[in-house]
Amino acid sequence: MDILFYKVALIIYLLSTVGYITSLLVRRVLAARVATWFLFTAFTIHSVSLVLCSIKTGHSPVIGFHETLSFFAWVMTATYLALQLKTKTRVLGAFVSPVVFLLVIVASIRLGGDVSLPTVLQGSLVPPHVILSVTGEALFVLASCAGMMYLIQENFIKNKKVKSFSRLLPSLRDLDKINHLCLLWGFPLLTMGILVGAIWARTAWGSHWQWDPKQVWTLLAWTSYAILLHQRLAIGWKGHKAAFLSIGVFSFLLVSFIIASMFFTTVHSFI
Amino acid sequence: MNIVLIGMNHKTAPLEIRERLPLSSRNNVHPLLEMIKIPQIKEAFYLSTCNRVEALASAVDAKAVVERLKEFIFPHGDLTSEEMARCLYVYFDHEAVRHLFRVASSIDSLVMGEPQILGQVKEAYRQAAELRTTGVILNRVVHHAFRVAKRVRTETEIASNAVSVSFAAVELAKKIFGALKGKTVLLIGAGEMSELAARHLIKYGVDRILIANRTYTRALEMARDFHAGVIEFDRLGEGLRDADIVISSTGAPGYVINAEMVAAALHRRKSRLLFLIDIAVPRDIDPAAGNIDNVYLYNIDNLQEIVDENLNNRRREAEKAEAIIEEEALKYREWFGTLKVVPTIVSLREKVEGIITGELGRSLSWMRNLSPEQRKNVEILASSILNKVLHDPIAALKEESQNGGALPYIAALRRLFRLDDG
């Protein structure tokens, strides 16, 4: 049952992505409005599927790698929809929904596969660790989406090309605010996620920290975002620089994550 | 249809002629009342704005009243017949309806898409309704025109995007700051355009104005108009720190604001976004200021380019609007086509027969107890009652149509019996 719901959600996520991209192409807000409703529907069905899945397996649906991706997509959608209510930035969906759709597709590869949990994952601290970290990281992805749109819109305004395309994009202030909020909320969540993980690692592996490639990567990410947040809050970086840096940090982390997972073996990889 | 429209607008008549016309009344007689006095005219509608005069009438014979209508317009403007021939246009029926739709939708306006014209048409209609010079035909045309205008407004982009420099500035400010509530504007130098832009910005939520002028007393004067604060001209840097939007229009020969001033102000304002609008010629603000992060600088040419682009866009959207107008004008013609005696009688009879069949069908259960002959009698009774009821109205309708005055009765009948629904 959960798989059926998941597949339906997947299709509606696709529809929503198509809707958002259409709205960019035909430059009408109406298409984005419809796409937002699709996204909301997909999100609801996805939520049902997550609940059904955790009832079926008896653990929260965030343990396996693919489950985590699906949860990641769910958090991104939830946050985007919440922001959309506050700032009416429909077109940001054109950046968010494709990412969500890809995540959901990748997550579906192992759909419904019977997973038996290794003992290291059968602790009560594992779900909070994953939920906190994934939510934090999803917020960082959103921050980069907003940052990217900021740079595009800013480029239009700086170069005096405020034609129909620029009209679709939200105002600079709204995009900066989204970037700011996502960093502000994402950072403490990731921090707590790492701390919970470290506590659990002590129980499972006997030490808080092991210099595992994935742990190093996380530390790198945490530090970069700490710097970014510091620049924003203490130095007062706004607008262009903040947007630029948040994209820079994100792409750097993405690349180093790919390298880390391709060339190094990690104890932090499960199912 | 026997509808006629006669008028002139900014395209057909120069200002010298247009300005002579809107004498709304001579000897305090409303033009509508003069129009309706023309013998063959049944209904009249008169619209006069600074860019156009339109007289719309429904007559027994539209062609016959054209000359009389011209004679009505003639004394108002002291036009020579040569001027009349050059400036006046005359439309009949379908074309007249379409023209009114175009006017109401602002396709025919000097600034295409401007919103005032619809209000002016509404006001003109209010007067006509007050003086009771409109009836079945023109009421329908004008109401239809309101609907068309609304459709054009929502389905095309004809009215969106700024077509004046000051509005373009407001739109840009919204692109940068989102809502303008709580934002501060600094006006440097006095000028009509900068005042206009400031007024637009206030309308959209800006609530604090600062004014700097080389002549301090002039700044104080302006500040009174705007309830604004005043900044001394040699302390502009402080203004740059506090303001979010700066509109500069001094007559200074060189730059009033240089890039260093902006950079320093930006540092003090913790990189909050700053929108600089330079509408002075020669320019007031060093173009290099526009290269600083989080600073957006637009000069008068940049704004004019946006306006030109938007005007082009409106012209493209006008084609869509024309299609909508044509479609709606055809709908009107269709409705008008139903306003004939014979089709009305036919559909009235159809409706009544439908009612009889329906009601007999519903009474089937108890009528089963009757003999076939009795049943037949009930059916005859039902239809003869209804036919008796219809007889007089139909006879009266035929009578009126022979006198040429059936239209209002037909319209009333169609409305009362809901003949146009479904």
B365-387 pLDDT tens trace: 888 888 888 888 888 888 888 88
Written as one string, the DSSP assignment of B245-257 is EEEE----SS-SB
**Residue in B175, B177, B271 nearest the CB of A162:** B175
Question: Worst-scoring range by mean pLDDT, A2-11, A45-54, B70-79, B128-137?
Answer: B70-79
CB atoms inside a 10 Å sphere around CB A234: 8
Can B50 be counted among the known catalytic residues? yes
Please tell me the distance from the alpha carbon of residue B305 to that of residue A162, in angstroms, as a whole number: 10
Q: Which of B23, B50, B264, B281 is catalytic?
A: B50
**Residue showing tokens 């169609």:** B414
- Strand, coil or helix: what is B142? helix
pLDDT for the residue B327: 93
Q: Is the pLDDT of residue A195 over 60?
A: yes
Question: Worst-scoring range by mean pLDDT, A171-185, A255-269, B206-220, B254-268?
Answer: A255-269
Confidence of residue A121 (pLDDT cuts 50, 70, 90): low
- In the sheet with B184-188, reading across from the earlier edge strand, the strands are B229-231, B208-212, B184-188, B245-248, B274-278, B295-299
pLDDT for the residue A271: 44
Residue type, A112: G
Q: Is the pLDDT of residue A196 over 60?
A: yes
Closest CA in chain B for residue A231: B270
Q: Is the pLDDT of residue A117 over 80?
A: no
Query: Of all helices (H) and strands (E), which one includes residue B57?
Result: strand B52-59
Question: What residues contact residue B75 under an 8 Å CB cut-off, 6+ apart?
Answer: B26
DSSP single-letter state for residue A268: T
Q: B-chain residues within 8 Å CB-CB of A172?
A: 175-178, 273
**B294, B301, B303, B314: best to mutate for the A interface, most A CBs within 10 A:** B294
Report the first-to-last Cα separation within chain B, whole angstroms.
24
List chain B domain ranges.
3-155, 165-306, 339-416
A137 touches chain B (CB under 8 A): no
**Residue in A87, A163, A240 nearest the CB of B293:** A240
Where does B75-156 show beta strands of DSSP type E? 89-92
List chain A domain ranges.
116-263
Contact A162 B270 (CB under 8 A): no
pLDDT for the residue B274: 93
Residue A232 Cα distances to A137, A236, B271, angstroms: 18, 5, 10
Assigned fold of B165-306: Rossmann fold (3.40.50)
Please tell me the distance from the alpha carbon of residue A264 to that of residue A233, in angstroms, as a whole number: 35
pLDDT for the residue A265: 63
| Phi, psi torsion values for B156, nearest 5 degrees | -125, 170
**A30, A160, A164: best to mutate for the B interface, most B CBs within 10 A:** A160
Q: Is the pLDDT of residue A116 over 80?
A: no
What's the pLDDT tens digit per position in B242-287? 899 999 988 888 899 999 999 999 888 888 899 999 988 889 999 9
Count Cβ–Cβ pairs < 8 Å, chain A vs chain B.
53
Higher-confidence residue: B23 or A54? Answer: A54
- Winning range, highest mean pLDDT, from A181-195, A256-270, B189-203: A181-195
Please tell me the distance from the alpha carbon of residue B31 to that of residue B46, in angstroms, as a whole number: 7
Contact B293 A239 (CB under 8 A): yes
pLDDT for the residue A266: 62
Q: B-chain residues within 8 Å CB-CB of A173?
A: 176-178, 273
Confidence of residue B414 (pLDDT cuts 50, 70, 90): confident
Q: A-chain residues within 8 Å CB-CB of B294?
A: 238-240
Residue type, B401: S
Confidence of residue A204 (pLDDT cuts 50, 70, 90): confident
Query: Of all helices (H) and strands (E), which one includes residue B275?
Result: strand B274-278
pLDDT for the residue B244: 93
Contact B294 A163 (CB under 8 A): no
Q: Is the pLDDT of residue B28 over 80?
A: no
Q: Count H helices, E strands: chain B? A: 17, 10
If you average pLDDT over residues B217-232, what whole number do you get?
85
Residues B184, B206 contacting (CB under 8 angstroms) = yes
A195 touches chain B (CB under 8 A): no
Confidence of residue B117 (pLDDT cuts 50, 70, 90): very high
Partner residues linked to B348 by β-bridges? none
Contact A171 B178 (CB under 8 A): yes
Touching B: A residues 207-236, CB under 8 Å: 236
Assigned fold of B3-155: Beta Polymerase; domain 2 (3.30.460)
Higher-confidence residue: B24 or B215? Answer: B215
